[in-house]
Amino acid sequence: MTTAQDITAILVAHDEGPQIGISLHSLLDAAAVARLAGLQVETLVVLADPTPATRDALAEAADHGVRVEAVDLADPGAVRNHAVGVAGGHQVAFLDGGALWSENWLVAAHTLCADPQVIAHPEIHWFYEQGRELYFPPDQDDPGFDPAILRFGNCWDAQAVAAAAVYRAVPFPELGERVAPGQLDWEWSTATVAAGFRHRVAPATINFRRRRPRTLR
């Protein structure tokens, strides 16, 4: 682990099976674009109590320069907190298994997070497989945004980019293995807003999310 990295790009893998390979290549592609832009990028896969098929699909990840960490943890919040703890980058970017980044994501988010109080989100979430839907997360700096909306529902996915110091100042809640879909995202969003951090949108970026029967939204 080194502190010389600008970003640690983290793929969290659990039970995605062979499809996790698509997410890994998305992470590698975005990392390659970021490196061409002059950024130092550490790539990390966290195997969170993975199924055998998921582990097998990532067996050659290290051949692509990816560091692999296996953890015997099932709580999503605990997994993410562990990942932050072993990350060497000044910023941390999370990618969930079954999700894809647009290739410009790391560069755009890194620019936005030059302000250490900012948590970056894509302009569009594109859900696929179990139905199709576009979601446009709000930008907290928009004059029309009212943070009171967080009392009634979540606005932002925890699959974001922020300074590692943000994740350490406001760790993810550890709510148990069977946490309700979206609850971790909602509680972390609420806690970070209360702590004074700002959720911003990086223009012209997309996050593709495979929607399962038990969706995050």
Q: Which residues contact 210 (CB under 8 A, 6 or more apart)?
A: 19, 98, 99, 127, 128, 129, 130
pLDDT above 70: residue 119: yes
Q: Which of 14-18, 62-66, 115-119, 177-181 has the weakest average pLDDT?
A: 177-181
Q: Which residue has the higher pLDDT, 55 or 177?
A: 55
Share of the chain above pLDDT 90, in %: 83
For the beta carbon of residue 63, count every other beta carbon within 10 angstroms: 7
Q: Which residue, 166, 170, 159, 163, is CA-closest to 205?
A: 159
Q: Please report which helix (H) or strand (E) contains residue 124, including its range.
A: strand 118-129
The model's confidence at residue 212, banded by pLDDT at 50, 70 and 90, is low
Mean pLDDT of 8-23: 95
pLDDT above 80: residue 217: no
* Tens-place pLDDT, residues 38-82: 999 999 999 999 999 999 999 999 999 999 999 999 899 999 999
The model's confidence at residue 181, banded by pLDDT at 50, 70 and 90, is low
pLDDT above 80: residue 32: yes
The model's confidence at residue 1, banded by pLDDT at 50, 70 and 90, is very low
Can you give the pLDDT at residue 133? 86
Phi (first) and psi of residue 193, to 5 degrees? -65, -45
Can you give the pLDDT at residue 129? 72
Q: Identify the structural domains of the chain with CATH numbers, from first to last.
A: 5-210 (3.90.550.10)
